[in-house]
Amino acid sequence: MRNFDENTITQAVLERVAEARSPRIRQISEAVVRHLHNLVREIRPSQEEWGFAIDFLTRTGKMCDDKRQEFILLSDTLGVSMLVDAINHGGGEGVTESTVLGPFYVEGPPEPPHGADIAGGVDGEPLLVTGTVATPDGEPLAGAIVDVWHSDDHGFYDVQKGAGEGTAMRARFRSDAGGRFHFWTIKPAAYPIPDDGPVGDMLKAQGRHPWRPAHVHFMIEAPGYAKLVTHVFVAGDPYLDSDAVFGVKDQLIREFVRHPAGQAPDGRQMDRPYEHLHYDFGLNRL
């Protein structure tokens, strides 16, 4: 096989992957080649534009480390992460909708008791979070693993702060016999996704802002149920309709209710005003 032109080369590459190790690898390889070649034939890039693409992907890879995943940001900002999410999570009656994982989840979070303050000493408006985990029929699920993480009131996660700062605003709880969990923290703020790398350059070139509406991340697991990866968004946030990663769903927006100083619903005596978020999560059966 020689002398390929801009049309015959696609068939040549498809024939080359025909002996792939598995039908799935063959299927994915063929689809990647067809769509990628169609893209190139539509764009008709100059050699310089091709070189820019090579360099963009290289810089995106080099930006990644244990605290930064620039290819996830690229997937998020091109709508690919939410598309993959939509393909894999049907939702349905009594099932909480999912959204993007994002790049800030950290394995092995601390496991404080119910009612603990997970703010880790970071300043901000006090926030009480209460919630339940249930089956699609509303039966409480005891012992579900509830991971939570969120930004501070300037929009930064603990892992984005300098070395020496400890774990903060992230924890793992297990739902009690009534499917309940609760904890204290501070209210998160809207924030720009990290935009000092190739993805930030792309957003600027595309005339887009990098902001995400304020939210608290939840990842909830229970045996026999599909893992739920989602956020709860703060009602009224100005970026709900222009989330840089297309992750907002109406069902996931909640009022963070403001309360004056006094006794909070969990019995804690508050000497200043606080907010309260409550969400009832429903997991899908496997």
Distance between CA atoms of residues 146 and 155, nearest Å: 22
**Contact between 232 and its own copies (CB under 8 A)?**
no
Q: How far is the CB of 24 from its own copies (least distance, A)?
A: 9
Nearest to 11, CA basis, from 1, 19, 20: 1
Among 107-115, 132-140, 189-197, 206-214, the segment contacting its own copies (CB under 8 A): 206-214
107-121 burial: b if 16+ Cβ within 10 Å, else e: eebeeeeeeebbbbe
Report 36-95 residues binding its own copies (CB under 8 A).
36-47, 49-50, 54, 57-62, 64, 69, 71-72, 75, 78-88
- Residue of the chain from 163, 177, 205, 286 that contacts its own copies (CB under 8 A): 205
Q: Is residue 206 close enough to count as binding its own copies by CB under 8 A?
A: yes
Q: Of 258, 247, 174, 251, whose CA–CA distance to 214 is shortest?
A: 247
Q: Which region among 29-37, 136-144, 165-173, 263-271 touches its own copies (by CB under 8 A)?
A: 29-37
Q: How far apart are CA 282 and CA 95, in angstroms?
A: 4
Of 240, 274, 281, 282, the residue at the interface with its own copies (CB under 8 A) is: 240
Check if the beta carbon of residue 188 is closer than 8 Å to that of residue 129: no
Decide: is 26 part of the binding site for its own copies (CB under 8 A).
Answer: yes
Minimum separation from the CB atom of position 6 to its own copies (A): 4
**By C-beta, is 152 or 195 nearer to its own copies?**
195
- Round to whole Å and give the CA distance between 82 and 252: 14
Contact indicator for 30, 12 with CB cutoff of 8 Å: no
Binding residue for its own copies, selected from 20, 106, 159, 270, defined by CB under 8 A:
20
Residue 263 near its own copies by CB under 8 A: no
Smallest CA-to-CA distance from 274 within 73, 70, 128 is with: 128
For residue 30, what is the DSSP state? H
Q: Which is nearer to its own copies, 63 or 127 (CB)?
A: 63
Q: If binding means CB under 8 A, how many residues of this protein chain bind its own copies?
A: 75
The minimum distance between CB 99 and its own copies, in angstroms, equals: 10
